[in-house]
Amino acid sequence: MTFQWICVTILTAAISLAVFFWVLHRYFRLDRAKKDLERQVEDLSRKLAYSNGLKRKITLMIAHDLQSPLHFLNVLSDHVSRFAASNQLSEVRAGTEEIKKATGNIHAFVKEVNLWARSQHEDFQPSQHSFSFHELAGELRQFFEDMMVLNHNTFVVDSEADVFVYTNRDILKAILRNLIDNANKHTRGGEVRLSLTSHEDGTWLTVSDNGTGMLPGELQKIRRRLANPVVNGPVEPNSRLGYQLIADFAHTLGFVMSVSSGKGRGTSVRIGGVVCQSPFATTLDSAEIISICQPD
């Protein structure tokens, strides 16, 4: 009888222990599933917030940068229509040329916004290759030629003729186009200078002007944005949206930027982290990076 009680006790203990371990295993499985689900919810929430932030920035940039040229096109087309009605062909030709330039600027802006939107994704890896900085500067000079004349400004390019830069050409062009455009907008009867120079601390691209400059508060906002380069960073309220696009592009290419400006003293923007490489090199190893640009 005693032996039977012992067997029953052992069996009961074994069943209880088995139930305990089954419940414990079930608990850990449910807890792991719960944590996995929480991670998925957090990831989806982050992606949703990212998408909403991206849409908000795109909307602000488009509304800000397209409002003026579209209004200009509307006024210009009205003038051309009136000139055509009165058979003033010379005025019509001049007006259509202005329309062509304005639509070209809008097209360039839309391409840059599209490029910027793609670059904002966390897994975006820009393609890089070696290209002539002199050719890029020539394209920018041609693009801004009429706009510089309109503001009575002179555009100066200061660099060696045969320097080759290794980076993503489209993104670098977008950065420089926006910087030059800002400089030209805030300068009258002055000089806008694009330079590529070498110093002990590396190679630097600089866009400078002797225009109206910035107020301290405005400069502080831009510096704060440049000091916190993050993918899909928030829009800085009441700040120049162009600089926010520039900051995002520079972060994508691994560049560092600094801005100096003063009211009535113009503005200078320096871009560091520029790499120069011969177009004939097939790879870019760390030992092959040229820290000081030299003409080939």
> What does the pLDDT read at residue 194?
97
In sequence order, what E strands does 88-137 have? 129-132
pLDDT tens sequence across 18-58:
877 788 788 888 888 888 888 888 877 766 665 666 566 66
Could you please state the CATH topology (level 3) that the domain comprising 130-288 is classified under: Heat Shock Protein 90 (3.30.565)
Say if residue 122's pLDDT is above 90: no
Task: Record the pTM.
Answer: 0.65
Cα–Cα distance for residue pair 276/197, rounded to 1 Å: 11
> What does the pLDDT read at residue 286?
36
Best-predicted range by mean pLDDT (92-101, 144-153, 173-182, 186-195): 186-195
Average pLDDT over residues 141-167: 88
Residue scoring higher pLDDT (276 or 212): 212
Look at the block and give the residue holding tokens 């982290």.
273
> What does the pLDDT read at residue 240?
53
The residues of the chain that CATH labels 3.30.565.10 are: 130-288
**Cβ burial, residue 22 (10 Å; 0-12/13-18/19+):** exposed
In one letter, which amino acid is 150?
L
Average pLDDT over residues 254-278: 89
In the chain, what percentage of residues exceed pLDDT 90? 23
Say if residue 289's pLDDT is above 80: no
pLDDT tens sequence across 218-265:
888 888 878 776 545 555 544 455 677 788 888 888 899 999 998 889
283: pLDDT confidence band, cut at 50, 70 and 90? very low
Question: ∠ CA 260-292-196 to the nearest 5 degrees?
Answer: 45
Cα–Cα distance for residue pair 211/262, rounded to 1 Å: 10
The lowest-confidence range among 116-125, 134-143, 278-287 is 278-287
Look at the block and give the residue holding tokens 């560092």.
256
Cα–Cα distance for residue pair 115/111, rounded to 1 Å: 6
> What does the pLDDT read at residue 234?
52
Q: What is the mean pLDDT of the chain?
A: 79
pLDDT tens sequence across 183-218:
998 999 999 999 998 877 788 999 999 999 998 888
